[in-house]
Amino acid sequence: MNHMEIMSNPPRVLNQDERAFYFDQGYIVKERAIGSDWLGRLNTATAALVETTRSMKCSTQTYDLNAGHTAEN
């Protein structure tokens, strides 16, 4: 969809002013867009993924590690 098609449809998450701001500025801040329960679950899942990579030395099909990856970073 292009800008005009998007703006012609009723908004679902962002209001019309927020949508216009996004297309003008290229970003939007939507505070509390994710509820605290979901945010907690996402943080837990992310921490588990980070912990899994601590002992890895090279990338796999699942994890793409940066050059210089260590357990500390």
Q: Quick one: how far is CA 7 from the chain centroid?
A: 23
pTM of the model: 0.59
- My answer on whether 27 and 43 are in the same domain is no
- My answer on whether 24 and 43 are in the same domain is no
Q: What is the pLDDT of residue 36?
A: 95
pLDDT single digits (tens) 24-61? 999 999 998 999 999 999 999 999 999 999 989 889 99
Domain that holds residue 52: 34-72
- My answer on whether 67 and 38 are in the same domain is yes
Domain count of the fold of the chain: 2
**39 close to 29: Cβ distance less than 8 angstroms:** no
**21 close to 1: Cβ distance less than 8 angstroms:** no
34-69 in b/e form (b: 16+ CB < 10 A) is eeeeeeeeeeeeeeeeeeeeeeeeeeeeeeeeeeeb
| φ, ψ at 6 (rounded to 5°) | -65, -50
Mean pLDDT of 19-25: 92
- My answer on whether 22 and 4 are in the same domain is yes
